[in-house]
């Protein structure tokens, strides 16, 4: 069906609703203020979005608290919450085309990826937590005959979620799935650069049977709506995904307010290491290129530092350069396009600035490096590969968040590990080798939340996602995500002797 859709006609007819969603209803911001949202694909104005501020956040938190205290959701049996969340996930899939189009128009990713990845991953995440929640048992501690100690999980209460624009729906779902399944109420603040799908998700959830007030969405800017949510005295836990710079602020906000639990999922500069005993250099090169250029390079786990053994580096660079040349940015609404637009003019300037920094530092730009499709009115950068990079250069040290690959050469395993670990980030890493002991040895030595061996992109909701070091402290996905949205309670009962 979607193969024959005229996405341009649909986009022209779309009139997205940018009002906030509080207490089960669409509402204007308390001040009446809005901001204009433009599409990065061609600069078109998509509409006016409510400019949420402290009063709107306060209304949303009050609504979330009332819903939580009323027990309409939190006191439901897990199997009942499961059924609602399953209906929510099914409704997301039923709205697949609308949600994919909104995502593409909002942040510039190719429509094919929004359809094939973002919508189904969102639904899968919701379904997985729905299915999990009536299969988790609590604990009885081994205290001996004189006591019965129950260790139970309770929902933490009101969960604040602040998410970025690179995978707007998936990042929202990673917060929503465990939080809602566990019985919490949620106030979600989407990025000002991608507010629309979060707002639609809230409407869809209500229609699927989620009680009003359980899931609220307040769009707005970080220093306004985001700060108000993170400082709010009645938010119990805060799940943040975004830059390390903003993550630092989250800890500060918590310290200045109610010490809410803060879980940060932050940036990365992941190392992709190709050892001399790699089984297939072609597959390594193809995986590095597809993983880095996917989503225009705007992925927290993009393998943006590619470390290649010196004996293979020339051949590897030739292969990734060839793949980059064949992946020109195109119209995101064209189903053949695999590389879309960067999210906005700021991100475009950042990417071009790093490319300039790479030239100035003396790295060799093998392919790409230019802005293209300027006439479209959108923000497009060619897939770019720098060779001859060293770890001290800014393009190797800092997160670019654009389609820019840095290739670094090394000569020994110890050197590769040292370079990979010489970063303030520790989100992911990848090792390419056919030597089993080396694979395990290096996986243990690499300081990263996920280490891939002979692959990069395969991933699943069943495993935790998060980073070491300044890539964050929380873990999204898997059953471990319940730790962030639940409190452990001990109930100790004395048993008297007969």
Catalytic residue among 224, 227, 265, 298: 265
Q: Binding residues for ligand NAD, per CB under 6 A? A: 162-166, 171, 189, 191-192, 221-223, 226-227, 230, 241-243, 246, 249, 265-268, 300, 399, 401, 427, 465, 467, 471-472, 476
Closest CA to 212 of 335, 60, 319, 18: 60
Smallest distance from the beta carbon of 35 to ligand NAD, in angstroms?
12
Cβ contact 211:236 at 8 Å: no
Angle subtended at Cα 158 by Cα 155 and Cα 160, rounded to the nearest 5 degrees: 120
Q: Alpha-carbon distance 320 to 314, whole Å?
A: 10
Radius of gyration from C-alpha coordinates of the chain:
23
Based on CB atoms, which residue is closest to ligand NAD, 263 or 410?
A: 263
Smallest distance from the beta carbon of 104 to ligand NAD, in angstroms?
17
Smallest distance from the beta carbon of 162 to ligand NAD, in angstroms?
5
Annotation says 203 is catalytic: no
Smallest distance from the beta carbon of 247 to ligand NAD, in angstroms?
7
Q: Alpha-carbon distance 382 to 367, whole Å?
A: 8
Give the contacts of 107 (CB within 8 A, at least 6 positions apart). 40, 165, 166, 168, 193, 194, 343
> DSSP assignment, residue 472?
B
Catalytic residue among 125, 192, 298, 300: 300
Smallest distance from the beta carbon of 220 to ligand NAD, in angstroms?
8
Cβ contact 19:37 at 8 Å: no
Based on CB atoms, which residue is closest to ligand NAD, 40 or 267?
A: 267
Q: Alpha-carbon distance 131 to 92, whole Å?
A: 16
Distance of CA 282 to CAs 274, 320, 328, Å? 11, 9, 20
Based on CB atoms, which residue is closest to ligand NAD, 344 or 387?
A: 344
Annotation says 265 is catalytic: yes
Give φ, ψ of 325 to 5 degrees: -60, -30
For 209: left if phi > 0, alpha if psi spans -120 to 50, otherwise beta; the answer is: left
Q: Alpha-carbon distance 397 to 383, whole Å?
A: 19
- At what angle are helices 78-94 and 119-133 packed, to 10 degrees? 170
Based on CB atoms, which residue is closest to ligand NAD, 346 or 412?
A: 346
Smallest distance from the beta carbon of 80 to ligand NAD, in angstroms?
30
Based on CB atoms, which residue is closest to ligand NAD, 257 or 435?
A: 257
Residue 302 structure tokens: 């993009």
Based on CB atoms, which residue is closest to ligand NAD, 73 or 425?
A: 425
Smallest distance from the beta carbon of 347 to ligand NAD, in angstroms?
8
Q: Alpha-carbon distance 178 to 329, whole Å?
A: 36
Based on CB atoms, which residue is closest to ligand NAD, 338 or 471?
A: 471
Task: Name the residues annotated as catalytic.
Answer: 265, 300
């Amino acid at each position: 069906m979607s193969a024959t859709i005229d996405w341009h006609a649909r986009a022209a007819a779309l009139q997205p609703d940018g009002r906030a969603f509080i207490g089960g209803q669409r509402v204007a911001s308390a001040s009446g203020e809005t901001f204009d949202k433009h599409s990065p694909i061609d600069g078109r104005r998509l509409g006016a979005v409510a400019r949420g501020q402290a009063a709107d956040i306060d209304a949303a938190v009050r609504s979330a608290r009332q819903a939580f205290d009323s027990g309409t959701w939190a006191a439901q049996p897990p199997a009942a919450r499961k059924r609602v969340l399953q209906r929510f996930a099914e409704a997301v899939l039923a709205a697949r085309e609308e949600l994919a189009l909104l995502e593409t128009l909002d942040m510039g990713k190719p429509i094919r990826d929004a359809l094939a990845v973002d919508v189904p991953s969102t639904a899968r995440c919701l379904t997985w937590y729905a299915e999990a929640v009536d299969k988790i048992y609590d604990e009885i501690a081994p205290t001996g005959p004189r006591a019965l100690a129950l260790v139970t999980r309770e929902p933490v209460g009101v969960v604040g979620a602040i998410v970025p624009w690179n995978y707007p729906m998936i990042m929202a779902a990673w917060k929503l799935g465990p939080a809602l399944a566990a019985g919490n109420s949620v106030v979600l603040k989407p990025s000002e650069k991608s507010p629309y799908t979060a707002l639609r998700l809230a409407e869809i959830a209500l229609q699927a049977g989620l009680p009003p007030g359980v899931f609220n969405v307040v769009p707005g800017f970080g220093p306004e709506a985001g700060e108000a949510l993170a400082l709010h005295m009645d938010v119990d836990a805060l799940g943040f995904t975004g830059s390390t710079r903003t993550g630092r602020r989250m800890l500060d906000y918590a310290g200045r307010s109610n010490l809410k639990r803060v879980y940060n999922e932050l940036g990365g500069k992941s190392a992709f290491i190709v050892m001399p005993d790699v089984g297939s250099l072609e597959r390594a090169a193809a995986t590095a290129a597809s993983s880095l250029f996917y989503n225009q390079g705007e992925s927290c786990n993009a393998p943006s530092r590619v470390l290649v053994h010196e004996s293979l580096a020339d051949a590897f660079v030739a292969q990734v350069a060839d793949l980059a040349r064949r992946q020109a940015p195109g119209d995101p609404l064209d189903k053949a396009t695999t590389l879309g637009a960067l999210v906005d003019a700021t991100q475009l300037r950042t990417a071009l600035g790093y490319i300039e920094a790479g030239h100035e530092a003396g790295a060799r730009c093998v392919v790409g490096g230019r802005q293209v499709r300027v006439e479209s009115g959108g923000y497009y950068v060619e897939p770019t590969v720098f060779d001859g990079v060293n770890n001290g250069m800014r393009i190797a040290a800092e997160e670019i968040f654009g389609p820019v690959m840095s290739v670094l050469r090394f000569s020994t395993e110890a050197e590769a590990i040292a370079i990979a670990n010489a970063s303030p980030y520790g989100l992911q890493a990848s090792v390419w080798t056919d030597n089993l002991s080396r694979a395990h040895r290096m996986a243990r030595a690499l300081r990263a939340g996920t280490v891939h061996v002979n692959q990069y992109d395969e991933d699943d909701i069943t495993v935790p996602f998060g980073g070491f070091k300044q890539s964050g402290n929380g873990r999204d996905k898997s059953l471990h995500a319940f730790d962030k949205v639940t409190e452990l309670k001990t109930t100790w009962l004395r048993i008297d002797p007969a």
